[in-house]
Structure 1
Amino acid sequence: MDITIIVEIISIIVILNAVGAIITVFHEKRDIAAIWAWLVLLIVFPVIGFMIFAIFGRKLTNKKIFNVKTQIRLGIDTIVSNQKERLKHGDLPVANEITNNAKEMVNMFLRTDKAVLTHKNDVQIYTDGKQKFAALINDMQKAQHHINVEYFSIMDDEIGNKIVSVLEERAAAGIHVRVIYDQFGSHGKNKKLFQRLVELGGQVEPFLANRFQILTFRVNFRDHRKMVIIDGNIGYIGGFNVGDQYLGNSKKFGYWRDTHLKIQGDAVLALQSRFFMDWNATHKIGTVEFSKDYFPNPNIQGTTAMQIVSSGPDSDLEQIKRGYMQMIATARKSILIQTPYFIPDSGMLEVLQNAALAGIKVHLMIPSMPDHPFVYQATKYYAKELLARGGKVSTYDNGFLHAKMMVVDGKIASVGSANLDIRSFKLNFEANAFMYDKELAQKLEHIFKEDLKHSSSLTLMTYAKQSLWQTMKQKFSRLLSPIL
């Protein structure tokens, strides 16, 4: 074949591929960073790129997944309307030492996520997997009516089987047991693990599996929430999944440093509401019939005001990301952040850099080792961007840091499942507790300072000494950061 004809054929293929890539990417509304990332992938890898896009690139924001009647039936809408009105008139107390900016944050969550503000919650903090699971198992063993479980990962290993064994015991005793797990996070091998639990009357569902089978090309959207609700009185939320590595039993990662909360008080109502919305969207037959047994009125006299905030690809409001940004905007002295993945979009990066340039202490802590190579290289790239504007960055050296925590001025704090990365902002279903309590925030601040004793400083000099290959890996990973 004439070489000219071959060149013409190749040119036509390249042009058609480029046109196809542009049409595909612009078919749905996206931010500019994601557009460029997908264009690079589709144009550089013509066939493979389109296959990857078909599975991982399509959006959900036009899909009505969750039944809003769940919240209406719980009276959430009424409570939210009430609280909005009280905020307008300045008679909704948030905490003893709350700022007007924090009240604005409360209002934002009421408007974007119907996140009810609750008071007098008692909160216990767990940073060690063995302690967290010991407490969880103890509470589940005492359940009298129901146990609702939702985790990204429930692994078929020692701790996974132990948790399931407790659920089996309670199900056999007549307790209502419901479990939601993410197929991707649990490696899709949970049918055998839960077989006896189902036989005993427990109900187990992979999150939205009937909607997200491989052929529906929606496997990129993951239930990253980590919640347990027991008898409507006790709630757990945070970063720990269910697996032996979260107990520090992994040779690769060593000690697993995470942050999880045990909550008692009215905030458990919000956790329960979130779980039932997820359950009713996931469960194939019928919906939960609500009763007072699911929503008792606990007489807890704690000190923490909080909102349980959720976000996911079913909405383009990015509620948790907005919460993080609002927290940062209120800072006057310090912003402490722990996250395993630091891949902020341009808005998040700018607000952090602005805070650092304004003289506010911005201190980021990330792991010293990767669990996902591309993600870690992108994290290192953006950590350098923060350092360049006066921020501080530390790497946690005593194992793997998986905590998702932010504390501002020792007054406001957030702990949950959402990392400071684009995936958590746009692609994952997440849940965080935003807390307005000086005493609790200072406890979390103290934990951060204790972790610094096991950390090293990452500096611009560190980057200056790294190899050219390392620099190139970070820059390339940054190009793909909007779709990692």
Structure 2
Amino acid sequence: MSAKYKQIINSRIFITAILVLIQLTWLVIFFTNLTKHYALINALFTFLSVAIVLMIISKDENPAFKIGWLIIIMISPLFGALLYLTSGDKKPSRKLQATINKEHVRWRDELRQEELVLNEVRALRERAAGTCQYLNHLSGYPVYKNTEVFYYPVGEKMYESMLEELEKAEHFIFLEYFIISEGIMWNRILDILTRKAKEGLDVRLIYDDWGCLTVLPPGYVWEMEKRGIKCMSFNHVVPLLSLVMNNRDHRKIIVIDGHTAFNGGINLSDEYINEKERFGHWKDTGVKVIGEAVWNFTAMFLEMWNAFKKTDEEVDKFRPHVHHKQPFATDGYVQPFADTPLDGESVAENVYLEIINQARHYVYIFTPYLILDNEMKTALCLAAKRGVDIRLVTPGVPDKKLTYRLTRSNYMPLLKAGVKIYEYTPGFLHAKSYVCDDEFGVVGTINMDYRSLYLHFECGTFFYRSKAVKDLKRDAIKTIEESREVSKKDIKSGLIGSLVNAVLQVLAPLF
């Protein structure tokens, strides 16, 4: 047997798939043997299906979720009921909620909004202050001044800056990522982390176990620990049919010495810096934050770390001014924020809606996936109808063909309302960015799809009247010029195509 096949057989994804297949086979055999009691079983599952339907209807959830599941159960009561029981509840497990919520409550006391800063925003624009206040109240992360934001239009530029700042680290480095893949990008960073750990710095790493399932070897946590890097994998993958794996840590954060942070759509893998070509040119965006607002990113990381490590450490030593005695420069107002599936509040979507609803002149949006609920679709259409220049940029080369089809199935109502849509023809656009009216900007990890907006742990950087807003706008215009505008004629479908699109639209929340 070749080394390649041995590697596949010994991989975690192969072992997980085999175990899940065994469970599926067992279920098929189990239900086949029950056919002799068909009448009783049919009655039980009819009752179960009705109970689940009533439960779905009574839930305080997005109507699109409800409709998708109701149709599946209507088509196949037995299969639909079983599928919902194993994977239908988008809320995290009680254990996961209890683990994180306890630490989240503690951090509310460490994140206090300075009213003077909020009042300054209010004096500039009342509605902007309302957005900041919403983020503080619901997400728990204040708005700051005494902070600078530096925008990066491609992963390569941000990577260079990351290496420079990591080399400057003197006290601690925190990293939290959805995907880490061995290669040029990660190996260079890992060399620095290993060296810094040997020098006595506090180096910690969180990676999502599902995101890294196929790209990191088993036992990677221990490999990091041997290098002196404290490490944990988030929500460890268990090979069971229950899909509680829905709730992933999709964040991308680096914090250095408490005063410098990186955030954006860029994972630690070679395609993000175009060292490996997958779908043409990989377009992504990110920001470097320097100043008081970095405390929000530090809080996000330590909340997750301490919740799972069961530690109760003194956190004041990680504050921005501890290792940066000079005053920070001021560049507008900056509010890093987190969104979690724990509270039932769609914080990220509501921030996007706030920007769209208060836009006066333009909103330019980068998103790799465009899977919209009714609220978002209505907001975009209404803004375009009242004269706001709404432009969306999506990938010209898809990473997932079915998701790409679903993205394009959302185009027509937007185009009819006057929204302009562009596809990034050089390759795959993975960026998640908003820019509005030369005033507002958001760069982060949050896609415009159901998983990001409702299921994952996400984060972003909201900035108001920062120089980074103009940098983001400049990049948006340049990217639009490199892209192809989509017309209604481009997306017309025949009868079969329209039916497929309709089915995908209904099932979109389940993707």
Query: What TM-score do you get using the length of structure 2 for normalisation?
Result: 0.84
The one-character-per-residue Cα deviations of 1:414-470 (angstroms, maximum 9, x if unpaired) are: 110111222211101111111001532122111011001210011111122x45444
- 8 Å CA contact 1:333–1:360 kept in 2: the answer is yes
Superposed, 1:132-211 pairs within 5 Å as 132-187=158-213, 189-209=216-236
SS of residue in 1 equivalent to 2:442: strand
Q: Is the 8 A contact 2:432 2:443 kept in 1?
A: yes
Report Cα offsets for 1:263-288 as digits up to 9, x if no partner.
101111111011111111222x4244
Secondary structure, counterpart of 1:335 in structure 2: strand
In structure 1, the residue matched to 2:343 is 315
Residue of structure 1 equivalent to 2:311: 286
Mean Cα displacement is larger for which, 13-22 or 171-180? 13-22
- Tell me if structure 1 keeps the 8 A contact 2:49–2:78: no
Secondary structure of 1:117's aligned partner: coil
Structure 1 residue 227, shift from structure 2 partner: 0.4
1:361 aligned residue:
389
Residue 108 of structure 1 aligns to a residue in which SS?
Answer: helix
Do structure 1's residue 442 and structure 2's residue 470 form an aligned pair? yes
TM alignment of 1:171-320, pairs within 5 A: 171-187=197-213, 189-209=216-236, 214=240, 217-283=243-309, 285-296=310-321, 298=324, 299-320=327-348
For structure 2, the 5+ residue unaligned runs are: 1-35
Distance verdict in 2 for CA 1:273–1:293, change over 3 Å: closer
Distance, in Å, in 1 between the alignment partners of 2:280 and 2:415 is: 28
- The Cα RMSD (Å) is 2.8
Q: Deviations over 1:304-359 (max 9, x none)?
A: 31111111110111111111111111111111111011112111111111111111
- Paired residue for 1:120? 146
Identity of aligned residues (%): 25
* Cα separation, 2, equivalents of 1:194 and 1:138: 25
> What residue number does 1:41 align with?
72
1:56 alignment partner in structure 2: 87
Distance 1:430 1:451 in 2: 25
Partner residue of 1:19? Answer: 50
Structure 1 residue 373: deviation in Å? 2.7
- Give the secondary-structure state (helix, strand or coil) at the position aligned to 2:471: helix
- The residue type equivalent to 1:178 in the other structure is R
Tell me, in whole angstroms, the C-alpha distance in 1 between the residues paired with 2:383 and 2:246. 33
Give the C-alpha shift of residue 127 in structure 1. Answer: 2.2
Q: What are the residue-to-residue correspondences of 1:452-471 with 2, within 5 Å?
A: 452-464=480-492, 466-471=493-498
Change in CA separation of 1:352 and 1:250 when aligned onto 2, cut-off 3 Å: same
CA distance 1:14–1:114, change in 2 (3 Å):
closer
Matched with 2:405 is 377
Question: 1:293: Cα distance to partner?
Answer: 4.4
Instruction: Tell me by how many angstroms 1:41 deviates.
Output: 2.8
Instruction: Indicate if the aligned counterparts of 2:280 and 2:397 stay in contact, CA closer than 8 A.
Output: no
Distance 1:45 1:339 in 2: 34
CA deviation profile, 1:170-225 (whole Å, cap 9, x unmatched): 11111111111111111263545454431132211111439x88477420011111
Letter in 2 for 1:473: V
Q: Which residue of 1 aligns with 2:26?
A: none
Contact 1:249 1:255 in 2 (8 A): no
Q: Cα 1:287–1:215, aligned 2, differ >3 Å: closer, same or farther?
A: farther
1:27-62 deviation per Cα after TM superposition (whole angstroms, max 9, x unaligned): 753222101111223443555545543443223377
SS of 2:398 mapped into structure 1: coil
1:168 touches 1:196 (CA, 8 Å); kept in 2? no
Contact 1:28 1:59 in 2 (8 A): no
**1:475 maps to which residue?**
502
From the superposition, tell whether residues 43 and 117 of structure 1 become closer, same or farther in structure 2 (CA, over 3 Å). Answer: same
